[in-house]
Structures are given as C-alpha cells and as structure tokens.
Structure 1
Amino acid sequence: MAQKGSGKLEGMNIGRVIAGRYEVQERLGSGSLFVVFKARERTTGRSVAVKTIHPEIAADASFCNALLTSLHRVEEFAHPSIARLLEVVIEDGKPALVTEFVRGMNLKERIKRIAPFTVSVAVDFAIAIAEALQYMHASGVIHGDLRPQNVMVGPDGVVKVIDLGIAAAIQTSAEASSRSAGRMAYYQAPEVALQGVIMAGSDLYALGAILYEMLTGAPPYPTESANQAVMKHQTDPVPSPRAANPGVPRALDGIVRKALQKRPEQRYASAADLLADLKTVRDALRFGRPLTWTPFEEPAGTPSPEPVVPASSPPDAPTVRAEGPPKADPPVRKPRPEPPQTTPVERNVYVARDDDRIAGWLRGLLYLAMAGLFLIGVFGLALWFAAFTRPDTKAFPDIIGKPIEEAQRMADAVKVRLLEREEYNDQYDPGTVYRVDYESGRPIRPGRTVLVWVSRGSRLVWVPDVSDLSAGEAEAKLKAAGLTLGRVNRETSDTVPFGCVVAQNPRSGKRVDRDTPVTLILSDGSAVVDDSESGAEDQIEHEWTIEHTVKRDGGGRRQVRIEYEDAEGTATAFDDVRDEGDVIDLQVRGLGRRLIVRVYYNDDPTPISENVVRWEEQ
C-alpha cells in the first residue's frame, strides 16, 4: 500500500500515527532534550503535544529508566497552571511524552519581545508559577529545571509550567546534563551547582530569577558564558530589580531579593509563603494600597549605599593645614571702657530699659497665643466645610445571596463599584455573591470600590450519565456539569452505535472534584465481520474513488477531514478548508475488499458521515 503521510522530520513522519491514535501534524520545535510535535488524537480530534527524546540521549538506558520513574509521579497531576502529562508511550523502543497542547509562546520569547513587563503582569505570571510550585511541592515533586523556556503563556495570558519531573533524570546522563547546562545556568540556585542538591528552595530561587527578568528584561546575572553565570550566582551580591527598574515597588523588590538569597534558609520557607507575599502585592496594586513594606531585611553589616558625613570632627582628629601665604595678624581688641558714673536720674533710665525687656517677652507669649487661636479657627473652619460640603452618602445595599448581575445593578444605584473575586463555595450557587468587604446598611460615599466574593459553585460536582451519547454531546454535558473530557478509548460494541459512549469513568452518580477529567469509551461498531472479506483478499491492493460534497447548511467555510479504513488500518486521505457545495474527489489505494470512509467537519470528533464501500460496488 502507498505510504500514508509525508514530510520526514528527524525520524518522525508527518501523518505518522503514534500508539495507534496520535497522528503527527507538524514539528513545533526542538529543545535541549526533546523534539516537539503537534499531533491530533484521532478518537477525540483534540490537539496534543508529542515529545520525542533526541537520539543521542535516548540511547542512554539509565536516562530513559530514570525519566519513566520521574514521569510516573506526575502523570496524575491536574492543576490549571501545569501542562498535563496525558501519557507516556513507547515508540520505536523509546519513551515519548504525550502532553496537553498549549497554544502561545514560551515566557523567554515573550520576555525578549516586550520586557520589562508592567508590575501587575509580572506579578500575575509569578503567582501562577508559584501556585504550580506549591501544588508540586505538596505532592513531593521538585521541578528542578524551572526557567522561562519551561513556562508557556497562551494568547489569553494563561500560564502553564511544562517539563515537570525530568531534572532527576537529567542528572543520570552526562549527555543530557551537558545539553541542559547552558540554559539552566542563568536560573540555577548556588547549592545545585556546588553540591548537586535539588530542593524546593531551588525552585523558589529560579522563580525569583524569572521574576527579576520579567521586571528588568535581563536575568539577574547576564554574562557571555554559562560558567560565568554559575560563578556569579555563587559569589556576586544579590541584585535589586528596583535599581535596574525604578518602577518596581519596594515590596516587590524585597520579594525578589529574598527569593534570590544564596543560602536556602534565608529564602522563603515554602512556595506558600512566597505566594502569600505575591498576592499581597497584587491586592495592593488593585486597591491602591501602599507598597512601602518589604519582606527582606538587609543582613547585619551591609554598608549603607549613602555616605555618612560626621557632624563634627572628633577631638583627637589630626589638624589639616592649608598651604599658602601667612595670614594677617588679627586686629588687637581694645579694652572695654569703664561704665561712666551715673546720676540718680540716669539709673532710673537703666531700670526702665530692664522693664522694657520683660514686657517684650510677654508680648512674644501674646503673639504665640494669637497664632494658636488663628490655627484653631482655620482648623474649625475646615471641619465645618468638610462636614457640610461632602457628597451625600447612601446606605450600602445587602447584596449577599444575590446574583452578581443583580448585585452590580444595586451597587450602581448608589454609585459604588464592585471588584469581583471568584472562589469555590458549597453553600451558594455559581455566580452568587456570598461575601462582601463592606457592611450592608452602612453609609458609603459615591465612587468607592468594594471587594465581593462570587461563588464558583461547589468544589464537588455530580458526574452525569453520558451513556449512548455521541462524543460531542457527552463532552458538552460533562462541561455543563463542571467536568472536563479526559482520555477517549474505543472498543467494539454490538448494541451501541458507532461513535457513541459505551462506558465512562468515573461512573455516573458519583461526586468528584470540579474539573475532574472523565474517561470515555466510544463504540467502534460491531465486531462481526463477513468471512468473505477476510483471508487472502485482505492482502490485495485496490484503487478506490472517494467523492464528497460539502454540505450546504449555512456553516460557511470549514475544515474537512476524510479518513478511510482498510484491512491495514486507518489513514487520512484529505484534511483542508473547503466552502459549502465544494466537491472533493480523491483516488486512494487500500488493502482488502472493504473500505470504511468517514468525513469530519472542523474539530467535531463525531463523523458527519460514515460509509462502508465494498469492492464489488466500485
């Protein structure tokens, strides 16, 4: 049979099907360890990323074994800021990673394009990474290779940390270590290079370095070589992002410097502590609170950046003599003349003058008293003005238990803005206000902003029954229930129509965490096969004609994919964009006397048509 797919890329063919269901579509890039491809999961139509190991590293059995051990610990991770590892498959005798496909670019590329970031954007990105680290560390997993290249940022600003759990495997291979050293050096904690020890504090150090780079546009120790960067991380003083970018608040500068401390015990004790400070900065930026505090205190003995000038020289300080011509002799002071003898009248004059000086002192007190009374008057006038000229206040409405849309209308009536924060709550329906940072009935001035908490619904949801539904209908029902579509497998069924749900896991009626992925098993049709269609005829290749007219249903231009299944397996015959009414005419070659043709529109995993054609009908 003719080869299915073309365009060989580093041992991986475009159109090649991995593990029986991942069809390679394009090459996305190459890193120090992996070559990354975009693939389509044929059973669901969703896009995934497939990462194959570079051949030079894949030849190291110890690395592959260590990698499998490490990945086994993160395969069940589910966190919004972590790219999910869907599974590890063995392809050509070597492991390949199938992960969530993240649209967008890595953080390093984004930094190159637009850094320095605004403070709010940098803090939001750092919070997402810190939340991922907190989740990992709570599960006993250290990232160990955290750098901007391993953080993906989507077009909508969603942050995903990638390549979890591979640092331990890198240490087992000299080839992998040498390939990764250059990129890791700019974000690697001193203890990693000195002792080869990877700990949770090493991840926090790397996050501090990433945050520094987002705020300044350069890593903490920009050098021409990785070796120089390693040395600077160990010996140079901790840099201040505020010195490089005066727009960085003092509090955020302190967070970065604390995370970048040389000794692990001087850094944050945990990702949770770092996350708490970052969220405090974020909230302060939102509500206009001051950011003059800092979590970082300069170590004792640190010299002050400003010179200290003594007020006067000490008594035993050496005398500095100025060179030059001798100065002229000082004038001779004449002796004070003796006071003249006064008559009684003159003595009375002197007494009167003493009395005049006492009266002047009393006048000074009088002046001070008058000034005080004046200030009191001004202050009282200001209070009167503020009391009688301030805008009218109105009672803040009771919005707890109200849908956020209704609560917003009630706030608009008193000219108050609401700042929403969504969190899970078991007692209130989704979209309902359950907490307010202001007491109802209390007077409030127009223009104020009030923080409100809006329920995202219960953290636990009920799993619906999606039996006998098509894949698209099942996914929509799961999404409406607060769940996500997990893996999709297929099996033959004599009772359930092709493409519909045969079974699900977790089963219906069970209560699980919101956003839990649900695995579906779809029907692959009946297992009954006509005996006349098997045997030697399956080895005969025939040429088939496939014709399809794009439906005129008002849907406009769409992606059309045509697959055919013969005795050897399934292949894609056509995948392109077409208009309504366009006729697609194809010639394919397939083995056997039967050909199953399936047509898909856009990303719908359910075919819009499925036809079984027999050779006699051609």
Structure 2
Amino acid sequence: MIGSILRIRYEIVEKLADGPIFATYLAKDRVQAREVTIRVFKQPFAAEPAFIDAVKQVVDKYSSCYANGIEAMIEVDDDDGVPFLISENSKGVALSERIHKLAPFSVSVVVSTAISICEGLASLHQRGVVHGDVSPDTLVALPDGQCRLQIPGIWEAYSSSQTAGIVALPGMAAYLAPEISAGGMPSPQGDVYAVGILMFQLVSGRLPYNADNPVAMAMKHATAPVPSVKVYSNAVPVAFDEIVKRAMAKNPAERYQDAGELLSDLRKLQDSLRFGRSLELPNKKPSSSDKQPVAPKMSAIREPESDDKKRKKKEPKVRDVPLWLSLTAVVFGLGVVGLIIAWVVFNISQPSLVVVPNIKGSKEIDARKNLEALKLKMVIKREETSETYPPRTILDVNPSPGKKVYEGAEVAVVVSSGSKFVEVPDLKGDTVDTAKQKLENVNLTLDSLMGKKADRRINAGLIISQDPEARKKVDRFTAVRVTLSSGRSGDSGSDESVDEKEYVYNLTIKLSNLESAVNLRVAITDSHGTRTVFQQGKDPDDVVEISTRGYGKSAQFQIYYDEVLVKTIDKKADGSSDVGDNRGDNR
C-alpha cells in the first residue's frame, strides 16, 4: 500500500507493523499537513461490519480520554471498502523492538519507563477506563525514554467478532492476569499486572513465565510462584523487587488497585535511587501463601497409640484447610481443565491455517484457481492502470504472500486494467458512426464538435483529418476531434476561414469543496482539436485566471482534478456576452 492515498487525503508513506488484526502504516494527512498512524483492518475483519462498528464505538467512547502518555484515536474511516483506524502518530519505535535490541535495562531506566506507562494508565483509570492490552506491542518508546499507550479499550470490540479475540490472544497471553485468563473481565488490577510483567522483562531481559502456547502460559500465570527478579541480577534493590512482586500478585486484591497506587510507589523509589535515600518497603498485604500446610507432619517411626489418641480418632476430624478454600481450589481446577478442553476442541474444529501463495504477476484466472485450491476466496479490491503488466494481471495481494490465514478467508487483490495510454486509430475516410465504434473499442471518445472543410478528393460526410493523429499514444477516454469533408463544391469556405481564425479566451476557476491540494489541468477543444492549456498543483479555494488562444468563435474547456474530469464549460470568444456569463461557472 506504500504510495496509496486513502480518501484522497491520507498518503501511505511507510509500514510500521503487521499485527493479527491491523496492518499499521505511517501516513501524511494532506489536509492538515501532519503525520498520522493508519491501522488498516486485515481480512477477515475488514469484512465484518459488526466488528468495525464496535471499533468505531470504542473510538467515539474514549475520544476524550487522552493525555500526554496516550496516543489519541481520531476516527474510523473507509476507502473503497477498505476500513482503517486513524490515530495520532508518536515519534518513536515499538517498545517490543527496543526490548529486543537493548534489554536488559538498568533499574533507574526501568523505573522511569514504568512511571511514564503508569501516568498514562492512571489517567485512564481515573476516568473508569481499562486499557486491557498493555504489552510491548501496544506501547511506543519515545526518543526521550518515555512511553505512550496505544489503542486503549480496543478489547471491548473483540466480542463483536468470532475470531478477533482468538487471533489477538497469543500476543496478549504473556501479560494477561490469571483472573482474565480464567474468564474474568479486564480491570485496573489487570493493567497493573501487565506493568509488573513489563518491569520484570525490562530489567531481566526475559519474561517471568515461558510456555509453548496461550493455554500453557495461562496455567503458568495461575499456578507458578511469582519469581524474584533478583534471581537474574543481585544489583536489583529489594524495594524494586517487592514492587514487582506486588504488581504480579496472583490475587487481584493483593496487587496495587490501580495504576495510581503503583505510580506513587514508583516515584518514591525513583527519588530514593536519585538521592541515595533508603526506602521503606511497600506494605505487604496478607498472602494466601502464608496459610498452614495442607499435609500433616509425618514420622518414619510411629509411637504406640495411647488411650487418648484412640479417643481422638473417634472425634470429628478438624480440617487443616478451610472448606471454602478447598472448594475454590476445585472450582479453579475445573476451570483450568475446561480451558484446556475448550482449547483442544477449538483447534480440532477450526479451519486449518494455510500460507497465502505469491500470485503477484499471475493472470486473474490462474490466481483464482490457485487460491481456490487452498480453500481461499479471491476478492477484487480495485483495478489500476499499469505500464508493466498486461490487463487482468494481479498487481498486489492482501494479506501479503507468505502470511498464514485460515481456510475460507478472503484474499483481496488489485488487478491491472492495462496501460493508461492507448493508440489512436486511423479514422481518415471513415463515416462518423464507424469512427465512434473504432474509438469506443479502445476506450476513446469522438468529440461532438466537428469541423468541416471542402475536399475534392473525399465525399461529403467522410473524415479527412483528426486530432490527435493516428497511432499517437494518448490517455484513455481522450476526445478525438475530427474534420469532415463538405464535398467537392467548397461551399464551406467561409466556415473554414472562421474556424482557422485565432481568438482569445478568458476563464476563471475557483477550486471549491476540496479537502486537499490537487493537480489542476485545463484542456481546450476548438477547431484544431484538444490540447492542454494549463497544468499546475493548486490548493483548496485557490482562484486561477487563465487567458489562452483558441481557433474558432466557440470552444469547450475540460477541467480535471488529479486527472479526473470534474466539469466541462462551453465558451464563446470575441467579446460575446456568453464569455462573461461563463466566468467562474465551474464553481
């Protein structure tokens, strides 16, 4: 899509990222002269109106919830069936890229980064908004070391799609709190948990838990002990380790309750690191891990049982573990088993993943057969002219070749309509009807203004000359002006002299109702044919004065914006009253 212009406004400049739901690009907003981020909906989500509407609702709902640490979402728009999300552009790189290249980081850098993340999250949490997908892929690292959150609340739209949540899960799983993986709703405590994972990853260069798939990762988050980051670096202060552990607590009630609470402790830690002060550790909330052991102590040698012990056997046995805790453990275990079963069933029943083949340069019919063999559907997105590829050849493919998609997915293609130029046929000696047919066959038109000239060699009504000349290359749909023979009598001599006389034409054009600059081209058609008399880039509401010379007392002007014909104006020359009436008539 590089070089494409969406909605005659957003010029795609560079591809930034390729996620499971969006392909992300840097674009120039030609109306407001700024850079923006464009997230193009990928297939099959681009063909899911309910999901697109849900994303629009999220953008509208949170349009006022933006601060310095949050990248504003502007709107959802559509260009010829291609939906896309427009956001502010943050001058930086994805945090995931910075982690990959530079991690691990020093504690002071990690604390500063975490503070900038929490400042953005705190602004959301104060408004009752949950980000729901805090991860290195939704954070932009700025040149000054700060971070900005992207696409807050998008998770709310996932329920409107059958597959959006599923394809997004692998990227989210490493940062999802246990209660969310178990079916709970995202919460401020869940965002805090994700920040705890990020702090661990930034300072150690690795994730606290590793697994082969999202289900196994969810089980690790739910059951594995919270690791100490000091295992990977003894230089980590105890206070920092305790903050990370509290943020990653299994029980949401034992974590910081929102980003504001975490932010407060991080700022205290930052001051202590900066000025060398001692820091009192955060108050540790009661942990379920402090409960008494489940199994009683055992001994290899049993003492003889006394009468007291025998009597105690008959008394009701006191549970070492409270009943509610046992029931909770059973329910949680069943939930994990159910999650595993659901995952297995899903993977058995879902369509197989297939690789999109490289069909660029293939004929349309061959490309369609190749995709159908893989159980994929080909959809023609649009047709474009091409000076390199013949008509009905595939120019572009989305998703791009090599990407994995599910069987039954749609593959959008751009098809060549051939060269934008065509060769003008030879019309000399033809009748008007024959000339029209020849021109229509090559996507040209016959100009309604036809000259007449006496010719002793050619019968009246036949074409004796044309403009443009035969075999010349011209743009499609160009109007060809012809001159007809008036017969051998030469009665049209006076008409010929008028048609050959040169006159001055004046034209005023105001570029109204435009959102961005365009290439303005003005062509004139007179007794000598059609030619361009003005071509220049112009901005909205510019006023252009054109004075040109033409042959004959009447002429027609064609006005093009970016080579699209928007208006034709018939004018008379030599001071006719019609000239004044037509000035500015194109407004």
Q: TM-score, normalised by structure 1?
A: 0.49
- Per-residue CA deviations over 1:192-232 (Å, capped at 9, x if unaligned) read 11114211111111111111111111112122333221110
Match of 1:62, SS state, is helix
Residue 101 (1) aligns with residue 40 (2): no
Q: Which residue of 1 aligns with 2:248?
A: 260
Superposition map of 1:408-487 within 5 A: none
Take 1:284 and 1:295, find their aligned partners in 2: how far apart are those partners? 17
- Per-residue CA deviations over 1:227-276 (Å, capped at 9, x if unaligned) read 22111001111111122222221111111111111111111122211110
Instruction: Report if the CA contact (8 A) 2:139-2:148 is conserved.
Output: yes
Residue 110 (1) aligns with residue 98 (2): yes
Superposition map of 1:205-354 within 5 A: 205-291=193-279, 293-296=281-284, 299=287, 302=290
- Per-residue CA deviations over 1:158-214 (Å, capped at 9, x if unaligned) read 311101120111233232112111110000011111114211111111111111111
CA shift, 1:610, in A, is 9.4
Calculate percent identity across the aligned residue pairs: 31
Instruction: Report if the CA contact (8 A) 1:118-1:215 is conserved.
Output: yes
Match of 2:160, SS state, is coil
CA shift, 1:90, in A, is 2.8
Match of 2:115, SS state, is helix
Take 2:144 and 2:540, find their aligned partners in 1: how far apart are those partners? 28
Q: Which residue of 2 aligns with 1:155?
A: 143
- Per-residue CA deviations over 1:36-55 (Å, capped at 9, x if unaligned) read 12111113321111111112
CA 1:292/1:62 → structure 2, altered by over 3 Å: closer, same or farther? same
CA 1:194/1:18 → structure 2, altered by over 3 Å: closer, same or farther? same
Give the AA of the match of 1:238: V
Give the AA of the match of 1:134: A
Take 1:17 and 1:107, find their aligned partners in 2: how far apart are those partners? 28
Instruction: Report if the CA contact (8 A) 1:15-1:25 is conserved.
Output: yes
The partner residue of 1:81 within 49, 59, 69 is 69
Give the AA of the match of 2:48: D
Q: Which residue of 2 aligns with 1:142?
A: 130
Take 1:141 and 1:201, find their aligned partners in 2: how far apart are those partners? 12
CA RMSD of aligned residues (A): 3.8
Q: Which runs of 5+ in 2 are unaligned?
A: 293-300, 304-447, 450-475, 480-509, 525-531, 551-556, 558-587
Instruction: Report if the CA contact (8 A) 1:594-1:614 is conserved.
Output: no
Match of 1:174, SS state, is coil
CA shift, 1:87, in A, is 2.6
Take 1:568 and 1:127, find their aligned partners in 2: how far apart are those partners? 44
CA shift, 1:73, in A, is 1.5
Take 2:17 and 2:536, find their aligned partners in 1: how far apart are those partners? 33
Match of 1:149, SS state, is helix
Instruction: Report if the CA contact (8 A) 2:8-2:516 is conserved.
Output: no
Instruction: Report if the CA contact (8 A) 1:596-1:612 is conserved.
Output: no
Instruction: Report if the CA contact (8 A) 1:595-1:612 is conserved.
Output: no
Residue 597 (1) aligns with residue 541 (2): no
Q: Which residue of 1 aligns with 2:118?
A: 130
Take 2:49 and 2:274, find their aligned partners in 1: how far apart are those partners? 52
Q: Which runs of 5+ in 1 are unaligned?
A: 1-8, 305-315, 319-535, 543-563, 574-587, 600-604
CA 1:569/1:74 → structure 2, altered by over 3 Å: closer, same or farther? closer
CA 1:293/1:567 → structure 2, altered by over 3 Å: closer, same or farther? closer
Take 1:614 and 1:127, find their aligned partners in 2: how far apart are those partners? 64
CA shift, 1:135, in A, is 0.8
The partner residue of 1:43 within 9, 23, 31 is 31
CA shift, 1:77, in A, is 3.0
Instruction: Report if the CA contact (8 A) 2:112-2:146 is conserved.
Output: no
CA shift, 1:290, in A, is 1.7
Give the AA of the match of 1:232: K
CA 1:24/1:292 → structure 2, altered by over 3 Å: closer, same or farther? same
Match of 1:213, SS state, is helix
Q: Which residue of 2 aligns with 1:204?
A: 192
Take 2:547 and 2:44, find their aligned partners in 1: how far apart are those partners? 47
Take 1:596 and 1:565, find their aligned partners in 2: how far apart are those partners? 14
CA shift, 1:91, in A, is 2.8
Residue 69 (1) aligns with residue 54 (2): no
Superposition map of 1:346-365 within 5 A: none
Take 1:615 and 1:231, find their aligned partners in 2: how far apart are those partners? 79
- Per-residue CA deviations over 1:342-397 (Å, capped at 9, x if unaligned) read xxxxxxxxxxxxxxxxxxxxxxxxxxxxxxxxxxxxxxxxxxxxxxxxxxxxxxxx
CA shift, 1:565, in A, is 7.9
Match of 2:13, SS state, is strand
Instruction: Report if the CA contact (8 A) 1:565-1:597 is conserved.
Output: no
Instruction: Report if the CA contact (8 A) 2:193-2:249 is conserved.
Output: yes
Take 1:302 and 1:290, find their aligned partners in 2: how far apart are those partners? 27
Give the AA of the match of 2:207: P
Take 1:162 and 1:245, find their aligned partners in 2: how far apart are those partners? 31
CA shift, 1:317, in A, is 13
Take 1:610 and 1:15, find their aligned partners in 2: how far apart are those partners? 29
Match of 1:129, SS state, is helix
Take 1:98 and 1:250, find their aligned partners in 2: how far apart are those partners? 43
Q: TM-score, normalised by structure 2?
A: 0.51
Take 1:186 and 1:278, find their aligned partners in 2: how far apart are those partners? 23
Q: Which one has a bigger Cα radius of gyration?
A: 1
CA 1:594/1:249 → structure 2, altered by over 3 Å: closer, same or farther? farther
Give the AA of the match of 2:152: L
CA 1:616/1:112 → structure 2, altered by over 3 Å: closer, same or farther? farther
Take 1:591 and 1:226, find their aligned partners in 2: how far apart are those partners? 63
Instruction: Report if the CA contact (8 A) 1:598-1:611 is conserved.
Output: no
Give the AA of the match of 1:25: V
